[in-house]
Amino acid sequence: MSRNKFMGQLFFEMYQNDPEKTAKILVDAYKEELERIRKFDVKVKQQDEFDEIIKDILPPDEPFSSLAKATMKGEVDTVVLMVKSALENKYPALDIVTKSLVPGIQAAAALYDQNWFYAPDLLMAGSAVQTATPIAMAKVENVERKGLIIMHAPKGDVHDIGKNIVKIILESSFFEAIDLGVDVPAEKVVATAKERQPILIVGSALMTTTMGALVDTGKALQEAGLSIPFAVGGAPLTQKYTENIPLGIYGEGPKDAVEIADLAASGLSWQEIKAKKYVGK
């Protein structure tokens, strides 16, 4: 008699003698295993979702794929070693940056936007990029930047983490960023914009009480005769609220910031960028 048949017969006989007790034994015996299977199923589904978010961002070919994944995870020391190894193996420095480091930080940004990563995760990925990029680019001269961007947190807002994250990603995507800091009055933004002629201005507000300061900055830019696209973002902001901000274009997260910057670099007006990103939404 097989073990399975024996166990089945045993439980059948037990069930005939005491159905309630036998049912309890079965539930207790398999409850932990069923819970483990359920958790595994959830984990598999979550991993599928995770992979779906980054599948079109990370490169398929080695060594770029492994380097991009290490960058995404913020493994700074590993990234540095892999960059040095790639250089020793004669991979072009610019390819190492554009095909590994940049996709890595962009993947981290996408995961951040989808609530898979938190701010420390994104900052670690940014640290990996900031540490490794100079190593890769040490022998590359005259790397052309896509355009100049002015960044700030508006008057009254002293939070800089959102702005700093966006700055890392923009610089990793070959934009030059001038960071005016926090608690920046509209007049300073206008004066810097007139002097430096950026392709884009970015404002980040993390307080409901300082959202209005972005409106003031947009008005000041417009009154000064400037029509520079003004990308705004931060936890309390919405696309609807951004309709109140002159020149305003709503950015939902770091990945949006790069898309808006690329559109601005292509020469589109703020109206054209806004229509391209948000028409029909």
In this predicted structure, the answer to whether residue 212 has a pLDDT above a threshold of 70 is yes
The per-residue pLDDT for 176 is: 92
- So what's the pLDDT on residue 158? 87
Closest CA to 234 of 141, 172, 165: 165
pLDDT of residue 206 exceeding 80 = yes
150-162 pLDDT, tens digit each: 999 999 988 887 7
Weakest-pLDDT range from 23-37, 137-151, 222-236: 23-37
Percent of the chain with pLDDT strictly greater than 90: 47
CB contact at 8 A, 181 and 160: yes
Tell me the pLDDT tens digit for each residue of 74-125: 999 999 999 999 999 999 888 898 899 989 988 998 888 787 888 788 888 9
End-to-end CA distance of the chain: 67
Question: 4-20 pLDDT, tens per residue?
Answer: 444 555 556 666 677 67
DSSP state of 184: B
Alpha carbon separation from 186 to 31, 39, 155, 190, 191 (Å, rounded) = 62, 51, 7, 6, 9
43-82 residue pLDDT tens: 555 777 888 888 889 999 999 999 999 999 999 999 999 9
Q: Select the more confidently predicted residue: 88 or 33.
A: 88
- Across the chain, where does the E strand assignment appear? 148-152, 176-179, 200-204, 230-233, 248-250
CA 86 to chain centre: 25
Q: What is the pLDDT of residue 8?
A: 55
Give the chain's count of helices (H) and strands (E): 13, 5
Q: State the pTM of this model.
A: 0.67
Report whether 165 contacts 123 (CB < 8 A). Answer: yes
Q: What is the mean pLDDT of the chain?
A: 84
pLDDT over 70, % of the chain: 83
